[in-house]
Structure 1
Amino acid sequence: MNATPTHEIVVLGAGYTGMMATVRLAHRTRRLPVHITLVNPSERFTERLRSHQIATGQELADLRIPEALADTGVDFRRAWATAIDTAAHRVTLDDGTELPYDTLIYALGSSADTDRVPGATEHAWTMNTPQFARGFAGQLAALAEAGGTVTVVGAGLTGIEAATEIADSHPGVTVTMIGTGEPGAMMGPKARAYLVRALDRFGINRRVGAQVVKVLPDAVELDTGEILPSDLILWTAGVRAPALAAAAGIDTDAQGAIVTDATLRSVSHPDVYAVGDAASVRQPWGHIHGTCQSGMPIAAYVADTVARRLRGKEVKPFRFGYIHQPVSLGRKDGVIQFTRGDDTPGPWYLTGRAAVRYKEFVSSSPWPTFRLSRRISIPAKFSTGARAAARAAKATA
């Protein structure tokens, strides 16, 4: 009697979504003939929710991926994926080896897009990797002694957290934040007013409605023609997914994220699933933007969906709704805007110490979730987005 062939699953990327998909899938398929390989260039887990802390010189916990995978049966490969052959169902690694797959889970995330503006790649720092963030931190520490200037390009949540962390940890530095929109524009008026007061308290300069068109070694040029001198430039504006999927002929959107169907499979290659920032996911109320808040439920859903399909069971479309916009304002302050499912602000918000505790809980929760998911299936969906979907349907009726 022939044995049932092993179903090979390869997961690319061990960030929040890659880890969640891997450990949950290992638990869900433990009694099936399934072999899972997780590929990541580092054994150390990167807490991207804390990148602004790394960028100001703070040391984080040393979390090791193989430890979280203990007793799961998952093979961990420390490597970069350099190519995907969708016809041969193989992934090529930077050491020249090839991994065959029956199912591929693409969890390579995204990074700050410095390609759109001349000089940004050469002269601006990013927090795309811990190494880049630590490099910025080294420059910042030297600059702080002389009392220099730092420009943060981007006024989204990442830019806000970076700017306030820099101002809080290095009060001698002059910080300017440049953005096309108001900081905290997505929040309700009360939470936004609190955020603005915090920026004022830190002495952070804001250039609202401005766009950087060129980055120089010691300055940025705005679309108005103005030149703003700066000793250090931190780029947080815009994101882009890796080019690996597009190079393989997989359908992607303008940012390089894989376009998915209702069950988060690639619309062009159904044996490829995309999770997190590397996935272009639409809901009845709109497009999901990349956050850990959405990424973890996406990853959990994909793990459950792959397991169900391997058992020959039907799956339901992915549904998601947001619940909050948590923002750190340095180490001792924060603001949390609670939201409706479509990420529009609701009436409730938190500030001050309560917000700090809430944000710390959010930031620290993924790692214990991974460890618990090796043995139990933790509910990962905070909201189905049903109310947001109903509003969207009503608006288009």
Structure 2
Amino acid sequence: MTGNHRIVVLGAGYTGMFTAVRLAHRTRRTGVEITLVNPSGRFVERLRLHQIAAGQELAHHRISDMLDGTGVTFVQGAATAIDPEARRITVDGKDSLAYDTLVYALGSSTDTGQVPGVDAHAHALDSPEVAARFAARLTEVAAAGGTVTVCGGGLTGIEAAAEIAEAHPGLKVTLVSTEEPGSMMGDKARAYLHGALDRLGVTRETGTRVAKVLPGSVELADGRTLRSDACLWTAGVRVSPLAADAGIATDAHGLILTDATLRSVSHPQIHAVGDAAAVRLAYGQLHGSCQSGLPTAQYTADTIARLVRGRSVKPFRFGYFHQPVSLGRRDAVIQFTRADFTPVRARLTGRSAVMYKEMVSSSPIMTYRYSKRMNLTTIVSKGGRATRTPAA
């Protein structure tokens, strides 16, 4: 690769922002031109959207301010088409950007299309604006002593249910999930989590799924109906169809199939990071999270910088380290893990866990800030033996 190499990064979430900022630092004085494309001018801290949903005010981060001094060009608009043969991106249906290398970091959103009534009668934590509208609805429901249903027992659902219950103690909060909340944790961490939910008054409906969301209730698959004056949907995710529509090789869920260097198996000039990438290691496929997403961004920025200079690259390696879960503003539980995400005995609870979780939630913003001047790492573990052998 030579000078005037054009790199376009699609998506300015956690992974897209980190890729752009780190890449700018790693490729300075090489003639590389970097463009970051995103529909909104605001950087969204998705790790904190449950706080907005509970009525808290958070800092407003402008993408243009975060890119200040990097030399990265910011284009506010939605990518609506990719032509991988011509290497061009259509933005908002009209403007076209040419690229030599593309970083696909469009992430994921809540899947609200699989269950009837979710689109019309439930809220999701996909943007600060939607979370704020849900917070306004919560205020109305709390004033009437109503009921809130959180559908989905993953980490987002758990954190949202706890945050809402703590902020509105007069509300009846019900968490509905197919599996026991915290099932991925060890016994002691899971028991602590359930003790915190009990303390906050969060009712759990487990072992069942939601069949339909209605204006004032949630219908379960076992035939029961739960009153629900406000419904928050956190079950399942979906990705943009942009890659699949462009003929880029994807899996059944629309994630870009990648090789060991996180490049598209069908179009090697396209690198995929975060939730948009099907990244498979020897112990299994990475699941969408900031913990695994930022390392894919770091690796991709470093990989592109090496390719620009004509250097070789090594396969991506990553191991999980922890499962941090906030339980309102005054409690949390941290389950430490093996590289493959299975739990170990070590854990943190209470105030120390609260400080740990806040450090985790705050770290991306600080990482972007310092990455303008130095090469910080977000990879705590490369996985050891679990990642030495590439995936089949």
TM-score scaled by length of structure 2: 0.97
Aligned mates of 1:253, 1:132 — CA distance in 2 = 29
1:143 and 2:137 equivalent?
Answer: no
Partner in structure 1 of residue 201 of structure 2: 203
**Secondary structure, in 3 states, of the residue corresponding to 2:320?**
coil
Distance apart, 1:267 and its partner CA: 1.2
Partner of 1:37: helix, strand, or coil?
A: strand
Residue 250 of structure 1: how far off its partner (Å): 1.2
- Residue 234 of structure 2 is matched in structure 1 by 236
Name structure 2 gaps, 5 residues minimum.
none
What is the CA-CA distance between 1:392 and the residue it aligns to? 11
Is the Cα contact below 8 Å between 2:11 and 2:38 reproduced in 1?
Answer: yes
Q: Does 1:260 align with 2:255?
A: no
* Equivalent residue number for residue 131 of structure 2: 133
| Alpha-carbon distance, 1:360 to partner | 0.4
Counterpart amino acid of residue 115 in structure 2: V
Give the match for residue 113 of structure 1. Answer: 111
Which 4+ residue blocks in structure 1 deviate beyond 6 angstroms?
390-393
CA offset digits 1:41-85 (Å, max 9, x no partner): 222211100010011111111212212211211101111111111
In the aligned structure 2, how far is the partner of 1:24 from the partner of 1:142?
Answer: 44
Which residue in 2 is equivalent to 1:6? Answer: 4
Deviation sequence 1:171-206 (CA, Å, 0-9, x none): 111011111100100001110000010111111111
Identify the residue that residue 321 of structure 2 maps to in structure 1: 323
Match of 2:367, SS state, is helix
Equivalence for 2:19: 21
**CA distance in structure 1 between the partners assigned to 2:385 and 2:205 by the alignment:** 36
Identify the residue that residue 60 of structure 2 maps to in structure 1.
Answer: 62
Q: Matched residue pairs, number?
A: 391
Residue 253 of structure 1 deviates from its aligned partner by 2.0
**Mapping of residues 287-326 of structure 1, within 5 Å:** 287-326=285-324
- Paired AA for residue 378 in structure 1: L
Structure-1-length-normalised TM-score: 0.96
Give the letter for the 1:175 counterpart: V
Aligned to 1:374: 372
Q: Partners in 2 of 1:330 and 1:148 — Cα distance?
A: 20
Q: C-alpha deviations, 1:314-333, integer Å up to 9, x for none?
A: 11110100100000000100
Q: Is the 8 A contact 2:165 2:173 kept in 1?
A: yes
* Structure 1, unaligned runs of 5 or more: none
d(CA) in 2 for partners of 1:353, 1:99: 48
SS in 1 for 2:140: helix
Given that residues 156 and 234 in structure 2 are in contact (C-alpha distance below 8 angstroms), is that contact kept between their aligned partners in structure 1?
yes
Partner Cα separation in structure 1 for residue 231 and residue 168 of structure 2: 15
Equivalent residues of 2:325, 2:333 under 8 A apart: yes
Q: Secondary structure at the match of 1:365?
A: helix
- Amino acid of the residue matched to residue 174 of structure 1? K
Among the aligned pairs, what percent are the same residue?
A: 62
CA distance in 2, matches of 1:124, 1:259: 32
Contact kept? 1:285, 1:391, Cα under 8 Å: no
| Aligned counterparts of 1:391 and 1:52: Cα–Cα separation in 2 | 38
1:48 & 1:253 partners in 2: Cα distance? Answer: 25
> Contact between 1:187 and 1:345, CA under 8 Å: does it hold in 2?
yes
Distance 2:313 2:388 in 1: 21
Amino acid corresponding to residue 96 of structure 2 in structure 1: E
